[in-house]
Amino acid sequence: MPRLTQLDEVLFPVEEHPVLVSFRSRSGERQLPVPEKKALVNSNNGRVLGIVSRDYRLVSNREALDYACACCRTAFPETEPVEWKVEVTDAPATGGHCYIDLAHNSTALDVTFVPAHDRPDAFGPFIRVTNSYNSQRALAFDIGFFRKVCRNGLVVRELSIRFKFLHTRRDIGAGIRFEIDQNQLTRFRTGFRDHLAALRGCAVPRKSFEPFVCGVLLIRSPSSLRPESREAEDWAALSAYIGGLCNRYAETLGENAYAVMNAVTDFASRPPQNRCVHRDRHTLQCLAGTWLGNFSAECRKRGFILSDYVKRLATATTASAVGRRARANENN
């Protein structure tokens, strides 16, 4: 399904409207108000974005972006507003929720890592704001990292600094303030560099790259692939795409977990439109970050066996797919 990827596409005005219930009675068509609910409507096209409670605190995407700029200034007071720019906008075509990334565009905040042959790799911070108009997502601000050379990003929840506010007047009210411990930011940067170093020191044979990528991102082939079916064509295209990513990073960064991470984050940052890809960019990048935090500790344990770990990843991917099917059957 097409997505909204331009900032002006998500900065549409939103209005609140009362909810009415229509019904037919003996005296004719009648409408009754639903006092505990209200509708959020895209003023440009009249689309109803969500039905929410009367206590719901509406935050427009433009207001959320202003809050994100304030978060940048609080987290990194040594920077200037002009050093931050909107790097990525991502939202479903309905506009019911969106993600906006503000990335730092100078080298002052870079985390520099030397993976091999004295060739430094630089990672910069970004702040992702999540906003919604349907009560399904809180207003949230996540600090993550992206690789400067290719713009691949991930959100490491184990290390990341996150602010989360429910869309209620109690949580947001007239506005929100950010409080950040600068020592926490230092630990955040140091921990991220340590994770990268652990991955660089973990050898991964090229043949294990694809199982790794699919396992981390919970990508699994359809349960039944009929020859020459659309599902088979999509899976073949996706497999070729993942194989190309793995070849590229194995050749440039070597056969190690650091190269695998870059293949993972490349896919997560630019997921292809394919029937076999069931998660959006934000979810995939969070999966990448969760894996980074877990694996960097796992691979440093005494007696770590890579082949056993990859098998566990495959098992977890299968279990996830089975769980999705079971939930779908329950809902039906």
Residues 47 and 127 in one domain: no
The 3-state DSSP class for residue 68 equals helix
Domain membership flag for residue 114: yes
Of the candidates 236, 219, 231, 206, the residue with the CA atom closest to the CA atom of residue 314: 219
Q: Note the pLDDT tens digit of each residue in 29-79.
A: 888 889 899 999 999 999 999 999 999 999 999 999 999 999 999 989 888
Domain final residue pick, 152, 181, 210: 181
Domain membership flag for residue 295: yes
- Structure confidence at residue 114 as a pLDDT band (50, 70, 90): low
Look up tokens 């394919």; give the residue. Answer: 274
Domain membership flag for residue 189: no
Cα radius of gyration (the chain): 23
Percentage of the chain with pLDDT > 70? 92
Domain membership flag for residue 287: yes
Q: Examine the pLDDT at 25 and tell me if it is beyond 80.
A: no
pLDDT score for 321: 43
CA distance 70 to 197: 32
Q: Does pTM top 0.75 for this prediction?
A: yes
Which structural domain, as residue segments, surrounds residue 271? 201-331
Domain membership flag for residue 300: yes
The four Cα atoms 148, 150, 153, 159 give a dihedral, to 10 degrees, of -40
Q: Are 86 and 102 in contact (CB under 8 A)?
A: yes
Domain membership flag for residue 196: no
Residues 211 and 318 in one domain: yes
Residues 242 and 317 in one domain: yes
Residues 39 and 75 in one domain: no
Domain membership flag for residue 74: yes
Residues 205 and 299 in one domain: yes
Q: How many domains does the chain have?
A: 3
Q: Examine the pLDDT at 160 and tell me if it is beyond 80.
A: no
Indicate the range of 97-111, 151-165, 252-266 predicted with least confidence: 151-165
Domain membership flag for residue 148: yes
Indicate the range of 61-65, 70-74, 147-151, 207-211 predicted with least confidence: 147-151
